[in-house]
Chains A and B, each alone.
Chain A
Amino acid sequence: MICNSITHQGLVRASNEDSCLVDGWVRTATMFRAQTVEVPGFPLVVAVADGLGGHACGEVASGIALAWLATRTAGHETLTEINLIQILQSIHSDLVELAGKSSQFRGMGTTIAGLVLQLDEAIAFNVGDSRVYRREGDFLQLLSIDDRMPGNLGFGEGAEGPISNLLLQCLGAQRDSVPPTPHVKTLPLGAADTFLLCTDGVSDVVSLDDMESCVRDPAGQCVGALVGAVLAAGAPDNFSIVEVRVSGGGGTKTLPE
């Protein structure tokens, strides 16, 4: 598996509250180039997080949530949906507890969207409005469910993305004690599947059509093309992207010789 990842403060914000996690490594500081990592074996945990709460709070929240995710998933040989939900909820309660300890951290929270790749399955999970996509040919299929107030209630054309950007739930940041309900989805893992994780700094700025044309990048530099698209659009928010390619080969049908 090949992972390309980047987290970036954008062109407007003064600091980077996003973080990304690839195979146990958490990056919180702005990266000026996408980093390519080849991960030899399963299981692989990748995630992006978009910190909330402003200034120091956000940075700490997204970074610490991903660090906890890395350590808490590391103990498992294989992860189940239940494990993941428990881990995400424990991260939530720990964040709430941490926020309670210091006024500096008050209101600290983060979105999270990630992917666990195991032997023959993938588990996509998210809380908040960071996204997980799976590549389907020339297109992207959204696997995560945005915790935003739904805008368009129709189906089909024009029902692709909620309009409102009011966040319904995230990890931490909640005063009440009701823990968030993570969205978790198990999928069969194809030999040539490609996944794309991003924070709203990408999906709110670049249209799905443009994201798909980045995915189709002839040079295969999907993340590079996406970064270019975000920066070209002004990069008003922090953004993080993780692309995971399962390179088992095969997959596409070809004509006989």
Chain B
Amino acid sequence: MAERTRLDAGAPTRLDSGLGPQVTRLDSEGGQAYSRGGSLPTVLASQYQILRAFDTAGAEADLYLAERRLDGRHCVLKLYRRGLHPKVEVLEKLRKCDRKFVIETFDSGESDGLWYEVLEYSEQGTLRDLSDEGPVAPNELRPIIQRLGAALSYIHGIGIVHRDLKPENVLIRSRSPLDVVLSDFGISSLSEATHHFTTRSRTIKYGAPESAVGAVGPASDYWSLGLIALECLVGRHPFDGLSDLSIAMLLATGKVDTSGVSDPRWRLFCRGLLARDPKQRWGAREVMAWLAGQAPPVAEEEISRPSQKPYKFAKRECWTTAELAIELGRNWKEGERHLARGLILPWLRDELRDQEAANLLIDLTEDRSLANEDRLLRLIIGLGRGLPPMWRSISLDRETLTSHCKGASSGSADDAEVIADLFTHEALRVWGDAGHEDCAAWQREWVMGAESFPVLWKKIVDNGGPDKKMPSSKAYLPPLLLMTLSSEYREVVDEESAGHAMVLERCYWFKNAELDRSNAALLVTRPFLDSAKEQGETEINSAAVVGAALDKLRTDFASVLEGHPKLHAELVAIEAQIAENRAWDAEISSLPALRENIFNQARNTLVSESLAHLFGRSWGECLVDGVLFSAIFVGTRALAGYAIAGDALGFVGDRLDAVSKAAEWKFHFSLGAVLVIAGIVFWITGRLASRYVSRRLLGQKRLRQKS
């Protein structure tokens, strides 16, 4: 966030850099500034002539001094950056406000996609200009306070909390008679709930202690009023020169020192408004009573010095453990020295006699696994309850951590050191243990990521990814924390790989590593992304080549099949067989069916084989047999004539006779009968054949003999 920007002297409104809840950011880069010298939105261009621009770098809106064409009146044009718009209901309420208390809004609305407000302009500047001139005299301040008190009770009455009251936002209409009004409700909101919870957007120097935890109510505006009064009276702000972290720590535990106000009644006024407890802080009633000359009670005592001796630390004197905690936090290195040398214990034990604190310190010293800085952190937490999380000199809030992470990621060695140190000493976990849920959650996610990062890296390499050298933890810890802190950053990293999911899916070593979408996984993916994409694309390409070749084969095969119907039929049969086998697979699940099936199959095979054996002989085989038989008969006839053949048949007849007497005579008889018939047939055939053969051969012989 840019620094608060002061406008030119005489500017009516000053903008705070904080992005308020009233403004909704649509794009992360912030709205595009209205180009100076360019054309105004149409609605405004017709009515106003821009005189000059106020310097508002980094703010949510651009401000211009403009002249109304209608009557030549000077006014301020507030043009919200593109993509930003105010809460309409707040604008409406403010427009209807009494101009006695609140800056006048002439017009507001939207034109050409830009939101604008037209505000009143005063040449007198703001209370800041007045207070810069030196301490404000009490009699001069009184009417201002009177008017501001009335203005606050008026805006609270209509449900608006200013939330960012500071001298810059008090517009002076005229100095004599004095007329001041509230301006710049840039971060106001409707106070429908008793307390409105928000994150930042207030000027921390004027913010009430409760706004550190986001609980802002009407009482917060009265705290700011108290600080304005104190600053005007003393001539300088009590927090001048302190960092935001120091201020936050002071607000959390300490009291604002009002001893610089010499007038006791004004000191009472400041103390009443600067009560840390919003319930006990003065409100409208007490301010009225004080203005009327009464002295309403003040809840908190003036800072009193106890009778004990103070602890001297970093050129300051600490009287309470809470004060010491703040100082230790502000001077971390010095605090380490005091703690390590054992200087603090005697004070806690012997002077304050704070047994609890002393025991804490003794326990910390006796824990030999802790380093000095670990002990100091725990001591600060233990002594100063309610302090905002910090480590060394940095505040452990989202913004600060994010900026360190970003610094480390973009190469700053110092930031990398800060983050590595934070990780080593587990400061976030310690604050988490002390009740800061944010810190605990960040630490958990961070540690989880840090533990899985090397594992996932190894997984990729083991699965065949390029053997890159793993970055050191100093390099991967900051982006891991950044992903934890900023969902936007996480999305950026996520999108890097999500955009190439299809390609990455084809990279075998990336796919096999089975990365999830955890922070560590996304971060590990990053350095491998290019080679994974390359690999994936190669595989996609080779898959395309193989697919094309397969397609060609398929068409070739189909054309071959067309020319060979038989092959085609066999192919169909094979396919049927495959289908059957598949059916089989289904049947395997039930065992009885399987057994049945096997039995049937076996029986069928047996039968079909027997039948094939019986009937399956081809004509060729029969022909060979016939020839063989013929040859035997011819041979027999040729060798021994009919007698031998007759004897042979006679022998068979004898055998038949004998066999027919056996137990299975029926079978053998029928076999014998068949053989007899066959014998007769063969005998006749033999005779016919032999006669034929002898007639042909002998006849020819005779013919030859005759010739």
List residues of A whose CB falls within 8 A of some B CB. Answer: 136-142, 153-160, 187-193, 208, 251-257
Tell me which of B312, B318, B347, B473 contacts A255 (CB under 8 A).
B473
Q: Inside 8 A of B342's CB, which chain A residues have their CB? A: 136, 141-142
**With the chains together, A192 CA to B368 CA distance in Å?**
8
Q: A157-B338, A251-B369 are in contact. List 18 more A-B contacts (CB 8 A).
A: A136-B342, A137-B336, A139-B336, A139-B372, A154-B310, A155-B346, A155-B351, A156-B312, A156-B343, A156-B347, A157-B313, A160-B343, A188-B366, A253-B425, A255-B424, A256-B454, A257-B470, A257-B472
**With the chains together, A257 CA to B457 CA distance in Å?**
12
Tell me which of A155, A188, A252, A253 contacts B311 (CB under 8 A).
A155
Q: Inside 8 A of A155's CB, which chain B residues have their CB? A: 309-312, 343, 346-347, 351
Q: List 23 A-B contacts (CB under 8 A).
A: A136-B341, A136-B342, A138-B340, A138-B372, A141-B342, A154-B310, A155-B346, A155-B347, A155-B351, A156-B310, A156-B343, A156-B344, A157-B315, A159-B312, A160-B343, A190-B368, A191-B368, A253-B425, A255-B423, A255-B474, A256-B473, A257-B454, A257-B472
Q: List B319-339 residues whose CB lies under 8 Å from chain A.
A: 336-339
**With the chains together, A156 CA to B642 CA distance in Å?**
149
**With the chains together, A191 CA to B368 CA distance in Å?**
8
Contact between A159 and B340, CB atoms less than 8 A apart: no
**With the chains together, A255 CA to B368 CA distance in Å?**
19
Q: Known contacts A252-B371, A255-B474; is A141 also within 8 Å of B311 by CB?
A: no
Q: Inside 8 A of B339's CB, which chain A residues have their CB? A: 136
CB distance from A209 to the nearest CB of B (A): 9
**With the chains together, A257 CA to B341 CA distance in Å?**
33
Q: Known contacts A158-B312, A159-B312, A188-B366; is A256 also within 8 Å of B341 by CB?
A: no
CB distance from A203 to the nearest CB of B (A): 13
Contact between B309 and A154, CB atoms less than 8 A apart: yes
Tell me which of B312, B315, B340 contacts A136 (CB under 8 A).
B340
Residue B461 CB within 8 A of the other chain: no
Q: Inside 8 A of A139's CB, which chain B residues have their CB? A: 336-337, 340-341, 372
Q: Which of chain A's residues has its CB closest to B423's CB?
A: A255
Residue B450 CB within 8 A of the other chain: yes
Contact between A142 and B341, CB atoms less than 8 A apart: yes
Tell me which of A140, A154, A187 has the highest count of chain B C-beta atoms within 10 A of its own C-beta.
A154
Q: Inside 8 A of B310's CB, which chain A residues have their CB? A: 154-156
Q: Inside 8 A of B474's CB, which chain A residues have their CB? A: 255
**With the chains together, A142 CA to B365 CA distance in Å?**
13
**With the chains together, A101 CA to B403 CA distance in Å?**
77
Contact between B312 and A157, CB atoms less than 8 A apart: yes
Q: Inside 8 A of A141's CB, which chain B residues have their CB? A: 340-342, 365
Interface string of B211-222 (1 = CB under 8 A from A): 000000000000
Contact between B424 and A137, CB atoms less than 8 A apart: no
Contact between B341 and A140, CB atoms less than 8 A apart: yes
CB distance from B289 to the nearest CB of A (A): 43
Q: Inside 8 A of A138's CB, which chain B residues have their CB? A: 336, 340, 372
Contact between A154 and B312, CB atoms less than 8 A apart: yes
Q: List B288-317 residues whose CB lies under 8 Å from chain A.
A: 309-315
Q: Known contacts A255-B420, A255-B423, A256-B454; is A156 also within 8 Å of B368 by CB?
A: no
Contact between A189 and B341, CB atoms less than 8 A apart: no
**With the chains together, A136 CA to B344 CA distance in Å?**
14
Q: Inside 8 A of A136's CB, which chain B residues have their CB? A: 339-342, 372
Q: Inside 8 A of B313's CB, which chain A residues have their CB? A: 156-157
**With the chains together, A204 CA to B347 CA distance in Å?**
24
Interface string of B366-378 (1 = CB under 8 A from A): 1011011000000
Q: Inside 8 A of B423's CB, which chain A residues have their CB? A: 255
Contact between B371 and A257, CB atoms less than 8 A apart: no
**With the chains together, A153 CA to B350 CA distance in Å?**
11
Contact between B372 and A137, CB atoms less than 8 A apart: yes
Q: Inside 8 A of B336's CB, which chain A residues have their CB? A: 137-139
Q: Inside 8 A of B470's CB, which chain A residues have their CB? A: 257
Contact between A256 and B450, CB atoms less than 8 A apart: yes
Q: Inside 8 A of B341's CB, which chain A residues have their CB? A: 136, 139-142, 160, 208
CB distance from A186 to the nearest CB of B (A): 10
Q: Inside 8 A of B472's CB, which chain A residues have their CB? A: 255, 257
CB distance from B430 to the nearest CB of A (A): 13
Tell me which of A137, A140, A187 has the highest count of chain B C-beta atoms within 10 A of its own C-beta.
A137
Q: Inside 8 A of B454's CB, which chain A residues have their CB? A: 256-257
Contact between B314 and A157, CB atoms less than 8 A apart: yes
CB distance from A139 to the nearest CB of B (A): 3
CB distance from B357 to the nearest CB of A (A): 13
Q: Inside 8 A of A253's CB, which chain B residues have their CB? A: 371, 424-425
Q: Which of chain A's residues has its CB closest to B324's CB?
A: A156
Contact between B311 and A190, CB atoms less than 8 A apart: no
Q: Inside 8 A of A255's CB, which chain B residues have their CB? A: 420, 423-424, 472-474, 477
Q: Known contacts A255-B424, A257-B454; is A156 also within 8 Å of B338 by CB?
A: yes
CB distance from B391 to the nearest CB of A (A): 14
Contact between A254 and B351, CB atoms less than 8 A apart: no
Q: Inside 8 A of B365's CB, which chain A residues have their CB? A: 141
